[in-house]
Amino acid sequence: MATLELSLPEEVEQPVRRKRRLGLLFWFAISWIVIIFAVAILAPVLPLQNPVDMDMLERRAWISTEHWLGTDGLGRDELSRLIWGARVSLTVGLCAPLIGLTVGGALGLLAGYFRGRFETLVVGSMDVLLAFPPLIFALAVVAYLGQSIPNLTFILGFLGIPAFMRVSRAATLTLARREFVIAAEALGATHARILLRELLPNVFLPLFAFFLLGVAVTIVAEGSLSFLGLGVPPPMASWGSMIGEGRESLEMAPRLAFLPAVAMFVTVLSFNLVGDTLRALTDPRQGAL
């Protein structure tokens, strides 16, 4: 008696296998983010040398039991500076997008819900902000306020507001005429209740996914500004400043630029992988909402 053999079509099997591969990358990214956050948070209690102590007799020393990753061009412990630099890069990388998420997300939510002149004003102001060169803005603010972590965080957070506003507004526009919003309006719910109870929980999902992508972009932006000497003031370490300092020793000790560059690359890649995965899960075009 003949038996029926069921098999998935090739076009169905491929997405399944692709999803499994992305799952492995996703958990690798999560693991790396947890590890880098753990060492950055525990840096004050870890048995590390002072990241700013210099020993000119140990300049560019190779890996040893005293200096696990060697020393830089001024005799400072490279491992200590790498971990303390992670604190600076992650602090700026998280706080700056948080400014954009709060301000830009609120403006986009209001603009997408109320529409009309308010939407025109918000979108127009964001277009003006996007038209202004970000590097010139960063140079002007740093020259006026000085180099510091709060100033750098403010600059990058302010520049990120338009992007978050657009994501929030786009998500709100797709939800503002949905059945649950219309039902809430018919029941006499106030604008504040609709915004906070109906729209915000649904808009927050794509915003959070974009926030993770914003963290990755901000870490690169902070590293670029620090590489140019516009980031954190010396002798404070960040991955960008370490790469900038290491370029002077590329011929003698290329690891001084390579190690922080690898740390930044893997961290940015991890945030991008997690952000892309969450964005795909919360994309309304794929039936997530």
What is the mean pLDDT of each successive set of 10 residues along the chain, which is 289 residues long?
A: 46 44 79 93 88 81 80 85 90 92 93 90 90 82 83 90 93 86 84 87 88 89 82 82 82 85 92 84 54
pLDDT at 283: 63
| CATH fold of 69-286 | MetI-like fold (1.10.3720)
Task: Collect all residues with Cβ–Cβ distance below 8 Å to 50 and sequence separation of at least 6.
Answer: 77, 80
Q: What is the C-alpha R_g of the chain?
A: 24
C-alpha to C-alpha distance for 202 and 196, rounded to whole angstroms: 10
| Cβ burial 38-50 (10 Å sphere, 16+ → b, else e) | ebbeebeeeebbe
Cβ–Cβ under 8 Å, residues 99 and 160: yes
Q: What pLDDT sits at residue 99? A: 94
> How far apart are the C-alpha atoms of 257 and 245, rounded to whole Å?
7
- Residue 285: what pLDDT? 54
* The pLDDT of residue 284: 54
Task: Name the one residue in this structure whose structure tokens are 């180099």.
Answer: 147
Q: In terms of Cα–Cα distance, which of 212, 211, 277, 192 is closest to 33? A: 212
